[in-house]
Structures are given as structure tokens and as C-alpha cells.
Amino acid sequence: MKMTGAKIFIEALKKEGVEIMFGYPGGVVLPIFDALYDSGINFILTRHEQGAAHAADGYARATGKVGVCLATSGPGATNLVTGLATANMDSVPIVAFTGQVRTSLIGNDAFQEVDISGITRPISKHNYLVKDINKLATVIKNAFHIASTGRPGVVVVDIPVDIQIQEADFYYPESIEIRGYKPTYNAHIGQIKRACKLIAASKKPVLYVGGGVIISNASGELIEFVKKTEIPVTMTLMGLGAFPGTDKFSLGMLGMHGTAYANHAIHESDLIIAIGARFDDRVTGKIEEFAPHAKIIHIDIDPCAISKNVEVDIPIVGDAKCALRDLLKNVEKPDISGWHKQIEVWKKKYPLTYKDDSKLRPQYVVEEIYNVTKGNAIITTEVGQNQMWAAQFYKYDKPRQFISSGGLGTMGYGFPAAIGAQMGCPKKHVFDIAGDGSIQMNIQELTTAVANKVPVKVAILNNGCLGMVRQWQELFYKKRYSYTILEACPDFVKLAEAYGAVGMRITKKKDVRKAIKDALKIKRPVMMDFRVEPEENVFPMVPAGQAINKMIGVLA
Amino acid sequence: MKKTIAVLVENHFGVLTHVSGLFSARGFNIDSLTVGETEDPTISRMTIVADGDEKTLEQVKKQLNRLIDVVKVIDLTDEDFVDRELVLVKVKIDNKKRSEILHVADTFQAKIDDVKKENVVIEVTGDQNKIKSFIEMMRSFGIVEIVRTGRIAIGRK
Ligand SMILES: Cc1ncc(C[n+]2csc(CCOP(=O)(O)OP(=O)(O)O)c2C)c(N)n1
């Protein structure tokens, strides 16, 4: 049967099981929007294309499905860019569709033409410019496959307007044939056995777990593995929730703002088992002094991630789930009771804490959100201090519960991501833990939340400044607060109300709990303006370029 | 250290930008890059000569492999291979130097493509060593311009 490109697009999305899509219309996507009108696909009109990309990302991270967004050519496409870079850095599966000027005009600097393939090349896993209507269906099939397999990422599909109008037979391929793309899932069994030998002989092993474990849905296997070996686990920002944060073998997060005990454990360790993590500089600190006594086993599905930053003793290319399953079959419990005792000492000596006085402190707000939601909410974050406190003081027991821009550190991510996460998980409570700076970067999405009755809660830890940058200025630039004090600030309560959402202001510690409870009862978007201590800092902290055992601000 | 890498890629537009973009984005140095169709018209073969330490070149290979349009990466440095490059050299010439230049060209089995009063264009083909020494020889006569095709290489196996 002959169909227009726009109709083929819709049919292909249905074949892929796409239920929801975020985006914004424009000139060269009119045929697609016309086809969307009565397609049955739930299209969410955001108020900015960046919001659409982040919402698709939040949806993908919360559900494990592919996130889909759609924008017009030119400015629509460039507005997606930050969102796509954010998702790709954190290996989030997204298929982004953009309209393009008609094929005969490409390269002519036509109205609203940009070379979005060229622009997105370094920030995507792959991209396509569809120049032949007969290839459209196959391209879409491949795009979903590439986005969601191997190390997931962003695939951009650029569709010129004339291709949307032309007709072709609709045939959706059953199978995939991409000869240059065959990710390795199964780990090499020889390497697994070698790894098990090292594990059995280790005295001070640590599991260093990243987002890859969440992406491959390997939490169950990881928990089994720890049950059997009793090896303590530390997680990266992206890995939070991969292993229960409340478990006695959890060391919490490592790295720049990790727990002191996680960082000490890594520094003293004789064997690091890295799974789905990439030795990012925020984790390793000064790379030459990272884990000086340890042998390293590194499991990752992306061969590029292995031995990129640190030399690895046992590289294992494969999917975290498959590899953990194989390890579990072969591993023996090492004798590490002395190590456990040492870790207990560190945990007692350097607990993660803050000054719990009568002042309204941001960490307290996060803890109370944890208490009131009984640890079951999905938490998204903005970037800065809010993000680190959300990572430190909410304990994540389940994967896909903590959603944050780790690799790119994109301010303005959390709120649209919360909307996407909430739409993917309507039964969950979803909180965006925000800063007063970041929230203003995509505040327009309040309309999206209101219009679609998305009951997300925004907890602004309002410190009147760009807190994280101010913290660096305080510590390393002699308190010269250059352009980080946000003297002018909107009235967030009135702002929320103007958008048709609910606003709340909380200025006293004693009112925090009740406010959170009240907010949860409201089945609409609620924006909570917590007026917190302005000069609170995130500690512990490894100053940039230092070894990770050289932390400052460790409260003993 | 220099490595000669053959990369088989899908023969469609945009692939070259993916490959060259990868090199620039990751700060890898390319000495030369050539592309051409293979015995299979849907596949092109690039020969890349890259410079860097062992670790960087390992990353180059992995990153190339990661590109969706890259079908295969062959590190020719590991095996026995034949390599060739074609170079056109324009050299200053006068009556005094003429016979000497022609003699050198002859020993390198180079071809004289064009002779003008002030200069001569010489074409030479060969492996990297031959090309290198030929260019060095010509330098002493005064090179006006050099154009190189970049290296192509094929494994002997
Ligand atoms: C888009 C973007 N611009 C700039 C930065 C640099 N940056 C990192 S944290 C930060 C301050 C964030 O301030 P706020 O949202 O108020 O959060 P706080 O640190 O106070 O919790 C800035 C400007 C960034 N990460 N992202």
C-alpha cells in the first residue's frame, strides 16, 4: 500500500511501540504534524525544544524505553542540541527527529536550514539524513535499534519536507542488517575466569559501579553477586540505585563529592571491579594517584571506555548483565573480614553529615523528601549543589530512581526530565530537586506540566546564588563572588500561580515536613520555594586535580 | 609512532565527515587519508596514516570501530603489507642541473611529466622509504611544489 512519508513515519513509530513523543512544530514538519493529528500517538507539546529533548530523556531513563522527540529544522533542531548532548553523554537511548528543508534546497542556506547532521555528529551515536523515501522505514528501524542497543545513545533522523510528502510502499523490515554495528554482549569466558581468580585472592576489593549496570538492567545480578562475595559497593552519580543505598555493603557515591569512606576504600583497595563505569575525572580525581595499590578489572560494553583513562589489568568487553551472570557462576567469596572492619571504622569516623541546627539547611530538605516519600520517589536534579545533595542525602534503593545529568552537567535538565519521568511512571511521586539558578533555565515547561496535568513537584533549594560556582569562588577564589549572587529573583510562588501551578514558600525548618506532605496530596504541579542557608557548602570535596583521598570538609 | 590503518566503510555520503570529525574531535593526528571504492561497490576503503603513541592509536582504532558506518578496521602495522604513494614534484631547473636531476629521477624510476624552461614536473611512485629519500634528494635542487596522493596499502596475506 502506498503511503506518504509522514504516514510511514507514524506507522514506523507504532511498530516500534512508541506511545509518547515530545516536541514542537514548525514549517518543514507540517506534513508529520498533520499525520500526528489523528494518529493515536500521545504527543506532548513542550514550550521549548530543549524541554522536549530533556523530557524524552527523563522518560527514557525512568522507563528504560527509547525516548522520542521531534522538532522543526533550523532553530528547532539547534534548540534540541543541548538536550541531545546531555542524553548522549549519559548513554540514554533517544531517537530525535528533525524536519529539514526540501532536498533540492539543501546546501543553499535556505530559510531555517541548518546542517543538523554535521552539528550533531560529535554529540550523537549516529545520525541519518533521509534523502530517499524508500529508505525511510529502514532508517527509522535502524535508528531505534542503534539507539537502544550496545552502549545506548542518541540517533538523529533528519527528514526533508519533500520526503514527508512523497509516497512509497510501506514495508517495515523484520530484521536488522547493519554490517558495521554488532555490539558485543557476551563477555569472554577466559577473562571472566581470570577476573574470578583475582577476586578470590583479593584482600581489599571494591565494586565501582556506574550507570551501565542500570542501563543493562543488571541490578538483580549485582545484588546476587554482592550477596555471594560480600564485596563493598560504591557507585558513581550515574550508578546510584544500581545497588541499594541502604544496604550494609553500600559505600554510597565516590568521587569529588563522594563519601569519605568510599574514597578511602578506593584509595586503599587492592582490587577494583569497575562495571559500566568509565573512570571519569570527577570520579578518579588526580589520575596518577588513583587507586595506587589496586589491580583493575573493567567490564564495559563499550571497548572505547576500557583503558581510556586508566590502565586496566583485566578488560572485559560485554554487557554488565551477561558479565555479572558469568562472574556469579565462577566466583568464590574472598576472605575480606579485615577489610570490612576497616570500612566500618571509616564509616563511623567519617559519616556523611551536615550541621543539624535550627536553620533551614538544604540537606535537611532532601532528607525530609526522602522520609516523606519513604525512599520511593523518582528524583531528578538540576546541576550544582542541589544535584550533589540529592545524590548524598536521598538513599536510592532501586535503579531508575535517580535521574541526573552526569556527564554534561546540564542546568535546566531536571524539570523537563521530571515531566518525562512522571509521564512514563504515572504512579510514582516525582521530585525535581532544583537550584534557584537552574530552575530558571527551563521554567517555561511549567506550562507543559500544567497543560498535561503532570503532578511533578519541584523543590527549589533557594540559596540566592549559583551555589556550586559560589562554593568554588569561596574556596579557591578568595570569596570574590563574581556574578554568582542572584540578587534579582522572581517570586517563585507567584510565578507558579501565574502558570496555573501551585506555589509554596517554606522558610522555617519546622515547616518542611508538612509542606512536603501537603505538596504530595496535590495532584497538580507544585513548585516549592525552600529558602535555605545561602552559604552552605557541599562536603566532602576533592579539590579539582587532587587525589580522591585528599578530601576537604570531612566532618569527623 | 606511525600506524597505517585500513578502514572499510559504507560507501555513502557523510561517512567521510564521521571519520575525519572523529579525528579532529579526539585530537588525533592524521598524516594522510585516502578513500576509494573497493571490489564491492557498496564499500569504500580508507587508508589512514596516523601519528601518536600506542595508547592513542589503540583509542583511534576503537573509536573507528565504534562508528556505525565503519564495517571493519584493519591495522596493517601488525602485518606484512605493500604500500604505495604517488607524488608529483615540481623542481627548479637550469642547464647546469638538468642532467643531474634527470639522472636522479631515472634511478628512482620516476617519470618526467612536464618540462618547462625553469622547472620540471616529476612523478614518482613507491613505498614510504622510497618517497622519503626521493623528496630529500629533490630538496637539494629546490622544490617549488609537492602534491601527494597519500599512502595506500594492502596486506600481503
Ligand atoms: C547550562 C549550564 N550553564 C552553566 C553551568 C555551570 N554551573 C554549574 S553549577 C552552576 C550553579 C548552579 O546554580 P543553582 O542552579 O542555583 O544551583 P545550586 O548550586 O545553588 O544548588 C553553574 C552556573 C552548567 N552546569 N550548565
Give the CATH fold of the A2-169 domain. Rossmann fold (3.40.50)
The pLDDT value recorded for residue B55 is: 87
* Nearest chain B alpha carbon to A303: B62
CA dist., res. A533 & res. A381, Å (int): 19
A178 touches chain B (CB under 8 A): yes
Query: Which chain B residues are Cβ-neighbours of A129 within 8 angstroms?
Result: 14
Q: How far apart are CA A275 and CA A238, in angstroms?
A: 12
Report the pLDDT averaged over residues A2-27. Answer: 98
Instruction: Select the residue from A156, A181, A301 to test the B interface by mutation, using most B Cβ atoms within 10 A.
Output: A181
Put simply, the answer to whether A180 touches B70 (Cβ < 8 Å) is yes
Nearest CA in chain A to B73: A180
- Cα dist from B157 to A154, A519, A556, B49, B83, whole Å: 39, 71, 66, 20, 14
The answer to whether A201 and A67 have CB atoms below 8 angstroms apart is no
| Grid cell for residue A52 | 522536549
* pLDDT tens readout for residues A373-417: 999 999 999 999 999 999 999 999 999 999 999 999 999 999 999
pLDDT higher than 70, residue A284: yes
A117–chain B Cβ distance below 8 A for any pair = yes
| pLDDT tens-digit map of B93-134 | 988 888 899 999 999 999 999 989 899 999 999 999 999 999
Residue A144 pLDDT more than 90?
yes
CB–CB contact B68 A129 (8 Å): no
> Do B2-75 and B81-155 come out as alike in CATH topology?
yes
Ligand 1 mean position to A468 CA, how many Å? 6
Q: How far is the C-alpha of A80 from the C-alpha of A119, rounded, in Å?
A: 11
All structural domains of chain A with their residue ranges? 2-169, 189-349, 362-531
Rounded Cα distance, A254 and A264, in Å: 9
Contact indicator for A135, A158 with CB cutoff of 8 Å: no
pTM above 0.90, yes or no: yes
CA A511 / ligand 1 centre spacing (Å): 27
The C-alpha atoms of residue A111 and residue B140 are separated, in whole angstroms, by: 55
How many of the other CB atoms lie within 10 Å of CB of A90?
24
A122 to chain B, any CB pair closer than 8 A? The answer is: yes
Mean pLDDT within A338-363? 96
| pLDDT grade for A229, boundaries at 50, 70 and 90 | very high
Report yes or no: A121 at the B interface, CB cutoff 8 Å: yes
pLDDT confidence band for A555 (50 / 70 / 90): low
What's the 3-state SS for chain B? CEEEEEEEEECCCCHHHHHHHHHHHCCCEEEEEEEEECCCCCEEEEEEEEECCHHHHHHHHHHHHHCCCEEEEEEHHHCCEEEEEEEEEEEECCHHHHHHHHHHHHHCCCEEEEECCCEEEEEEEECHHHHHHHHHHHHCCCEEEEEECCCEEEECC
Measured CA to CA, the distance from residue A475 to residue A541 in angstroms comes to 11
CB A328 within 8 A of CB A221: yes
Do A257 and A538 form a contact (C-beta atoms < 8 A)?
A: yes
Ligand 1 binding pocket, CB closer than 6 Å: A 382-386, 409-411, 435-438, 461, 463, 465-469
The answer to whether A355 touches A219, Cβ cutoff 8 Å, is no
Phi, psi angle pair for B83, to nearest 5°: -130, 150
Distance B29 CA to ligand 1 centre (A): 35
CATH number for domain A189-349, candidates 3.65.10.10, 3.40.50.150, 3.40.50.1220, 3.40.50.300: 3.40.50.1220
User: Does the structure show a pLDDT above 60 at A556?
Assistant: no
Averaged confidence pLDDT in chain A: 97
Domain ranges of chain B: 2-75, 81-155
pLDDT, position A251: 98
What does the pLDDT look like over A51-91, one tens digit per residue? 999 999 999 999 999 999 999 999 999 999 999 999 999 99
Interface of A with B in 296-315 (CB under 8 A): 302-304, 307-308
Lowest mean pLDDT among A25-29, A476-480, B9-13, B121-125: B9-13
Residues whose CB is less than 8 angstroms from the CB of residue B107 and which lie 6 or more positions away in sequence, other chains included: none
3 state DSSP class of A441: helix
**Ligand 1 pocket: which of A438, A472, A484, A536 to mutate (most atoms <8 Å of CB)?**
A438
Which CATH code, of 3.30.70.260, 2.60.40.420, 3.10.620.30, 3.40.50.2020, is assigned to B2-75? Answer: 3.30.70.260
Contacts of A121 in chain B (CB under 8 A): 17-18, 21
Question: Chain B within 8 Å of A126 (Cβ-Cβ)?
Answer: yes
Q: How far apart are CA A387 and CA A398, in angstroms?
A: 18
CATH topology classification for A362-531: Rossmann fold (3.40.50)
Confidence of residue B150 (pLDDT cuts 50, 70, 90): very high
B81-155 to CATH, choices 3.90.480.20, 3.30.70.360, 3.40.1110.10, 3.30.70.1150: 3.30.70.1150
Q: What is the pLDDT of residue B24?
A: 86
Residue pointed to by grid coordinates 538492567: A217
Give every strand in the sheet of A430-435, ordered side by side: A402-403, A378-381, A430-435, A457-462, A526-531, A502-506
- pLDDT tens-digit readout, B38-85: 999 999 999 999 988 888 889 999 999 999 999 999 999 878 999 999
Mean of the pLDDT values across residues A140-161?
98
Beta bridge partners of A235: A209, A253
For A153-211, write each residue's pLDDT tens digit. 999 999 999 999 999 999 999 999 999 999 999 999 999 999 999 999 999 999 999 99
Cβ-nearest to A121 among B18, B62, B71: B18
Does A146 lie at the interface with B, CB-CB under 8 angstroms? yes
